[in-house]
Amino acid sequence: MFPTPRSERFRGWSLLGLSTLAISFTLPGQTIGVSSFAEHLTNDLKISSTTLSTAYLIGTIVGALTMPAFGRWIDRAGVRKTMITIATAFSLAVAYMGTVRHLWMLVFGFIGIRMLGQGALSLVSQTSIALWFDQKRGFAFGISMTVSAGLMSLGPLVLTSLIAGFGWRWAWCIAGGCIFVAVVPATWRWMEDRPESLGQLPDGLSPALVESAEKVHHYTAKEALATQAFWITTSVMVVSSALLTGVTFHHFALMEAAGLTTAQAATVFVPQMIGTVAAGFLWAGLSDRMSPKVLLVSCQASLVAAHLAYAGAQPGIGAAIYSLLLGVNGGSIRALVSVLYPKWFGTQHIGAIRGVATAFGVGASAIGPLIIAGGFQITGNYVQLNYILATVPAAAMVSALFLRPPQKVKLKTALPETDVR
């Protein structure tokens, strides 16, 4: 039996927009957002950049450990309820960052914004998209990654303007208020857990078009974790997450060492936005047509090139090329992990599966800033450090060559309601 339609218009595209909006507003919990406050936090709290990186590490690791539990909660309670709760809590955590007075308050704040923003709100939003789209999933994620990356890349300019106009403490509070106003009421009014709750099917297909579709085994989290594909893909994501977070967190220091002013360093995020937007849409679309092995290798090749390009990151075209390549890697890896997990493992337990993967990704992002800070102390030179870091994504490229997508259990049959995801 197929669900009886209760709404003629397919809701997936509008909910794609809502989920993309929620992803965009995770900005204050992302490294690209926190980096705008880094100098103010070190100066006002009288801590070193290494201490700030360590606090960020603690907050991010603690947040990462909660991701599997968030994933199971999303599967059990549904997208709508969890997104409302997470977005509300995240807005409060962001506002709290404007009140920090000492190191331990900062650590507590980092736990909140990393757990709820980069982790949970991104996870529930991407889960919603995966549930509403199947055959068009790559295209849908391409749109989402393009729009959200474009909006978030403008974040440093917005945040630095808020800091200049209101001070860094009020900038956090204003950002928290904007998150609540933009995301929570819209989610309460329009979000739906999955197509079946409205009597619809993924992609807006009619039951007649899927009568002869293949019934695909939906992996449990335990089954997914037993596959080679999960671990290779997650390992590649971990490399990108750690290194991109590290160089983004210390972006202004890296650019200053390359001869750029603070204003010039802020504008360098623009080519990174272009790379993120273009790569997100391109790699998501290609995921339906090309081998994931090729896509993962090419994704990591862009990160190798970015680290090597830092040596020429002078004001002007050199810095733009470096930033563009970082954007290509960030956009491509986000698109690939968003598409490949539901494509390979189904959607019945996708929250739990993505929760485990997200825990590793968020955990990796925790050590990124410390890698850059510690690496600079050892080498004393960001150029030499970037040459060394280039070997890490090069190793990830080699591991991706051994990728084998999991073999799904398939059966030609008419799909009952619970098998259409």
CA distance 390 to 243: 10
Query: To 5 degrees, how large is the angle CA 343–CA 347–CA 349?
Result: 125
Q: Which residue has the higher pLDDT, 170 or 144?
A: 170
Domain hosting residue 224, numbered range: 12-419
Q: In this model, does residue 6 exceed pLDDT 80?
A: no
Q: Does residue 162 form part of some domain? A: yes
Type of residue numbered 25:
F
CA distance 256 to 264: 9
Q: Which residue has the higher pLDDT, 192 or 152?
A: 192
pLDDT given at position 421 = 36
Q: What percent of the chain shows pLDDT beyond 90? A: 41
Q: Does residue 363 form part of some domain? A: yes
Q: In this model, does residue 409 exceed pLDDT 70?
A: no
Type of residue numbered 334:
R
Looking at residue 411, the DSSP 8-state letter turns out to be E
Report residue 344: phi and psi, to 5°.
Answer: -85, -40
Q: In this model, does residue 211 exceed pLDDT 80?
A: no
Q: Does residue 333 form part of some domain? A: yes
Q: What element of type H or E holds 16?
A: helix 12-24
Most confident region among 137-141, 231-235, 247-251, 348-352 by mean pLDDT: 231-235
Q: Which residue has the tokens 């990151």?
A: 313
Instruction: State the burial class of residue 209 (Cβ atoms within 10 Å of its Cβ: 0-12, 13-18, 19+).
Output: exposed
Q: Does residue 3 form part of some domain? A: no
Q: Does residue 360 form part of some domain? A: yes
> Which of 252, 248, 85, 105 lies closest to 169, judged by CA?
105
Q: In this model, does residue 288 exceed pLDDT 60?
A: yes
Expressed in angstroms, the distance from the first to the final Cα of the chain is: 14
Type of residue numbered 254:
L
In order, the DSSP letters of 211-228 are TTPEEE----HHHHHTSH
SS3 track for 77-92: HCHHHHHHHHHHHHHH
Q: What is the CATH number of the domain that holds 355?
A: 1.20.1250.20
pLDDT given at position 314 = 83
* Axis-axis angle for helices 122-132, 137-153 (nearest 10): 150
Segment 75-81 mean pLDDT? 92
- C-alpha pair distances (Å), 300 with each of 86, 145, 180, 304, 401: 32, 18, 36, 6, 11
Locate all alpha helices (DSSP H) within 346-416, ordered by sequence. 350-379, 382-389, 391-400
pLDDT given at position 334 = 85
Segment 282-294 mean pLDDT? 85
Mean confidence (pLDDT) of the chain: 86
Q: In this model, does residue 125 exceed pLDDT 80?
A: yes
Q: How confident is the model at residue 207 (pLDDT cuts 50, 70, 90)?
A: low
**Tens of pLDDT along 300-347?**
999 999 999 998 888 889 999 999 999 999 889 988 988 888 888 888
pLDDT given at position 80 = 94
Question: Total structural domains in the chain?
Answer: 1
Please give the torsion angle defined by the CA atoms of residues 194, 195, 198 and 203, in that order, rounded to the nearest 10 degrees: 160
* Of the candidate ranges 85-89, 119-123, 147-151, 232-236, the one whose mean pLDDT is the lowest: 147-151
Q: In this model, does residue 412 exceed pLDDT 50?
A: no
pLDDT given at position 206 = 64
Q: Does residue 309 form part of some domain? A: yes
Q: How confident is the model at residue 198 (pLDDT cuts 50, 70, 90)?
A: confident
The predicted model scores a pTM of 0.76
pLDDT given at position 216 = 61
Report residue 321: phi and psi, to 5°.
Answer: -65, -45
Q: Does residue 2 form part of some domain? A: no
Q: In this model, does residue 106 exceed pLDDT 90?
A: yes
Number of Cβ atoms within 10 Å of the Cβ of 9: 11
Segment 17-24 mean pLDDT? 94
Q: Which residue has the tokens 């994931």?
A: 292
Q: How many CA atoms lie within 13 Å of 168's alpha carbon, on the beta-carbon side?
A: 19
Q: In this model, does residue 180 exceed pLDDT 80?
A: yes
Segment 19-27 mean pLDDT? 94
> Which of 339, 313, 312, 352 lies closest to 82, judged by CA?
352
Q: Does residue 251 form part of some domain? A: yes
Segment 108-123 mean pLDDT? 92
